Each structure stands twice: as C-alpha cells, then as structure tokens.
Amino acid sequence: MRSLKRFGAIAGACLLILAGCNGAEETSTGSDPQGDMARGAELIAAKGCGTCHEIPGIDGATGRVGPPLDHVGERMFIAGMLDNTPENMRTWLMDPQAVVPGNAMPDTGLDQEEADQVAAYLRSLR
Amino acid sequence: MTLSIAKSIMAKAISGWRQVGQRAGLAVAGLALGTHAASAQTPMYYLETFGPKGEITASLTWGLLAISVFVVVLMSVLVLVAIFRAKRLEPAELGSKLPVSHPGGGHRWIYLGLALTTAALIVMVVWTMEVLAEIDEPAVEPAFTIEVTGEQWWWEARYVDPDDPSRTFVTANELHIPVGEPVRIRLASADVIHSFWVPALAGKTDVIPGQINETWLQADRKGVYRGQCAEYCGVQHAHMAMRVFADPAEEFRSWWEHQLEPADTIPEDDELLRVGQEQFVLKCGACHAVRGTLAGGEAGPDLTHFMDRTTIAAVTLPNTPGHLSGWIADPQHQKPGNKMPNLDLSGPELNAIRHYLETLD
Ligand SMILES: [Cu+2]
C-alpha cells in the first residue's frame, strides 16, 4: 500500500514536470533553448529541408542535393561564405540567394523567429 | 419477402454496433496514421464513409462482419460445450467400452445446422447482390465526367464537359468534385493494371490497359479524401496516391473556370522568370505541358496550374518551395525509379525554374 502511494506521488511529480516542459515549448522565445530546438525540428520537417540535406534526428531527411548537416554546429563557415555565428545562420536561412546568388537552396519562407529556431536546432548538431 | 425483413432487422441491429465500431476504429486509425493523416481529413479508412455509395457499401461491410463474428462465437461456444459435456470413461469401463461410439440419432442437429448456414449464406449473397445493383449507377445522371488515366506512378485527370468540348482541361493527382453531386469517373491505363480507390467514398475499380472501366463518386461532406492505387503496379505503387477535394458547388465551378485558363504570361522585365521559363521549356517541356507556352509534353503531369495543388508527385511530398526544389533537383532520390529523370541543372537554373513554377497558379 505504501509503495503504491509512493509510486503515485512519483508518477504525479513526473506528470507535473512533463506538463511544465510542454507549457514551456508552446511559448518558445530566445530564452528557451529546448523549446526553440523542438520547434526548429518541426520547421525543418515542414519546410522540406530534408529533401536536400541529410539531417540527424529529422524523419526522412536523407536528401543528397546539398551538404549533409551533421556537425553543422561545429562548421567554420556557412556555405563557404559566412562565419558560422547565430546571426549569420539566420541571414543564410532567411535568404540564401542573397549570400550566394544562384545557389540551389531556395528561400523557404522562414521569418526571423522561425529562422532562429531552426538555427537553434542546427547548432545542436555537433 | 422474409429475406428482406431479415435483412432490415439485421441492418437495424448492427447500426448501433457500427457507430461504436466506427469510433474505436477511427481512433485506432488516427493513432496508426499519425502525421500522414494530419494532411488529409480522411485517412485511408473505409469503415466511415461520406457519400451515398460509401454508405450503402459500409452497411454491407458491417453487416457481413457482424454475421461472421456471430458465427465464429456460436461455433466456439458449441465446440466448448461439446468438449465439456463429453462423458469421461470410468477406469473400470475401459476394457469393455470403445472410447468413441456412434450412437444413432443426432441427424436433426445436422439438418438444423445446414438450414441455418444456408439461410445465412443466402441472406449474405442477396444482400451483396442488392448492394452491387444499388451502387452501379448514381440516383441522377452525373453532370460531367473525369477521365482518369493511371500511369506509373501518378494519375492524369481530364475533365470533360459533355455539352461543350472546349471546356475540357487536364490536371493531375488532385481531383476536385462538387459536394453532393455524383461525378462519373472513366478509367484508363497508360501502362499496367492499377486500381482506383477512394475508400471513404467508394470501393475499388480496377484500371486495366486496353479497357475503359467506369465508376462514380459522390461526397456529401466538404473535405479532402485520400485515394490510393490499390493494385500493385511497380516500385512506386505505394507512392501513387491522390487527393479528392469535395468543394461547395460555387467554389467548384470557379475552380473549373480557372483551370481552363492558360498560364499567366510572365512580366517582360523579370529576368529571373524569363530565364526560368526558357529553361523550363528546354529541359522539362518535352514531358510537361504548360498551356500557353511551348511546353507541351505529355509524359508527365500537366503543370499549367501546378501551384493550385497541395502536393507533389502523387501525394509524395507537400507542395512547399523547399520540397519542390528538392524534387526538381533529385526526383530519383525522393521517389526512386519514377519516370522523371534527374536532369542536368545548375544551381541558378534550378532556382530560376522553381521561381517560374511558382507563378503557375
Ligand atoms: Cu499501383
């Protein structure tokens, strides 16, 4: 009986923690790296980055059109042009044609917040 | 007479059961299909239907299922009863009695069983035939026909106005039909056997080379219904899907009007679009048609109003700039073996062509 109660308490605590995480995810801003990454992963799937890139952790992202994005968090340059900083990644993702005119990567319609979320996910690929 | 009474009693009895089943089934289907189901309002699910044809067929499905389950339960109970009622021989009787005996009588049970089985089978056959007859033709004559051609691994759709041949046009993979009106579907194949199946609206109709098969569809609720080739037709059979959009009548008519139009001419001074169109005609025009340009190919889907479609390559990818670029750059990786080859494109050409395609709304 006692162990059952204890189990209940632990389960309850876990649920609370999970619920907390969930709530945090929904209001993702710069101050919430976990939420940003999760949202970034969703965006990467929705925008079809995986038709061109191999991206760890994204379902079906096996593309062979552009470079694989494993370890992109550690890469020195973005597209061989920009220093790999969060700001530059945002610039690249929002308008790749402005950085390397005529390259094969399209503007996928990310706004600034979305670009930062995608960048947060990419940064975690080390 | 008695048959039809039995049938109607059966139909009433199962209708309650059917609703319970539908809810449970939908929940399971929803779980199993997960993200895929999220894009279409009805997943590949035939136990809940949205048109007169589907309704009649679904009743039959549930009826036959109910009878079958009843028979299995009945037989199981009888076998169990027989097992537990069997008399055990006392050890003392072992030498004097045979373990298996053939007492007389008991034929009555066999006659009864035969009679019940025959009656049930007749009900099922007559009911099935009746449903087949009922769904053969819609209640009113359809106002138009869609000639659907199955090709490895996509669907061409030619809309035909019977009164005015000039109002014919071609599209692909995404059909639109008016809500609440029957539509005739005339099926042909360009290569091998396929099967046309929109489970929430109607059963399957085979698509056979050298033969025209006819069926019809009617959706009584606005929505998007997923269809799928239902006869194995080669490597990309699984990616030979379609979407049927049931639109309110008004919306449907204006969609048709819009489809009749040729593609918009591109602005003279837009260099990127000019190059895009030029490259498209050169590299893609042998297989794809864009009405109003020199691109008139027929090996691939008509792209005149491609941006009106929500998906690419028979519902293989959603139609977003990212997926579209990826498709044009490497169709053989997205749908290995499909009939669109990887083409020699440079980055700037790919970019220009995609920009041009994005004007085709
Ligand atoms: Cu098939």
**Is A38 a residue whose pLDDT tops 90?**
yes
Contact assignment for A52 to B351 by CB distance below 8 Å: no
What is the B227 CA–ligand 1 centroid distance (Å)? 11
Exposure string of B241-278, with b = 16+ CB inside 10 Å and e = fewer, is: bbbbbbbeeeebeebbeebeeebeebeeeeeebebbbb
Exposure string of B308-326, with b = 16+ CB inside 10 Å and e = fewer, is: ebbbbbbbbbebbbbbbbb
**Is A86 a residue whose pLDDT tops 60?**
yes
Contact assignment for A102 to B320 by CB distance below 8 Å: no
**Is A97 a residue whose pLDDT tops 70?**
yes
Contact assignment for B351 to A104 by CB distance below 8 Å: yes
pLDDT score of B85: 85
Name the CA dihedral angle for B39, B44, B47, B51, rounded to a multiple of 10 degrees.
70
| Residue carrying structure tokens 């319970």 | B20
How distant is the Cα of A55 from the closest Cα of chain B, in angstroms?
Answer: 14
pLDDT score of B16: 46
What is the B182 CA–ligand 1 centroid distance (Å)? 25
pLDDT score of B47: 80
Return the amino acid letter for A28.
S
Contact assignment for A97 to B333 by CB distance below 8 Å: no
Residues 6+ apart with CB under 8 A from B144: B159, B160, B161, B162, B183, B184
| Residue carrying structure tokens 């990467």 | A44
What is the B192 CA–ligand 1 centroid distance (Å)? 9
Q: CA-CA distance, B43 to B187, in Å (whole number)?
A: 23
How distant is the Cα of A32 from the closest Cα of chain B, in angstroms?
Answer: 26
Q: CA-CA distance, B220 to B154, in Å (whole number)?
A: 26
Contact assignment for B325 to A46 by CB distance below 8 Å: no
Q: Which residues in chain B are contacts of A108 at CB distance < 8 A?
A: 320-322
**A-to-B residue pairs, Cβ atoms closer than 8 angstroms:** 65
B318-321, long-range: CB < 8 A, 24+ apart: B318/A46, B318/A48, B318/B39, B320/A46, B320/A47, B320/A48, B320/A108, B320/A109, B321/A48, B321/A106, B321/A107, B321/A108, B321/A109, B321/B354, B321/B358
Contact assignment for B321 to A105 by CB distance below 8 Å: no
Quick one: which of A83, A79, A91 has its CA closest to A116?
Answer: A91
What is the B229 CA–ligand 1 centroid distance (Å)? 4
pLDDT score of A79: 94
Q: A51, A69, A95, A100: best mutation site toward chain B, by most B Cβ within 10 Å?
A: A51
pLDDT score of B42: 55
Q: Is the ipTM of this complex over 0.95?
A: no
Contact assignment for A51 to B318 by CB distance below 8 Å: no
**Is A25 a residue whose pLDDT tops 70?**
no
pLDDT score of B193: 98
B25 touches B177 (CB < 8 A)? no
Which of the residues in chain B have pLDDT under 50? 1-3, 6, 9, 11-40
Q: A49, A65, A95: best mutation site toward chain B, by most B Cβ within 10 Å?
A: A65
Q: Identify the contact set of chain B against chain A, taking CB-CB distances under 8 A.
A: 317-318, 320-327, 329-330, 333-334, 346-348, 350-351, 354
E strands, A43-121, in order:
77-78, 82-83
Domains by residue range for chain B, with CATH:
2-85+106-134 (no CATH), 145-260 (2.60.40.420), 271-357 (2.60.40.420)
Q: Residue B327: closest CA among chain A residues belongs to which residue?
A: A51
Return the amino acid letter for B275.
V
Residue A31's pLDDT band, with cuts at 50, 70 and 90, is low
Return the amino acid letter for B361.
D
Contact assignment for A52 to B326 by CB distance below 8 Å: yes
Architecture of domain A2-123 in this structure? Orthogonal Bundle (1.10)
**Is A18 a residue whose pLDDT tops 50?**
no
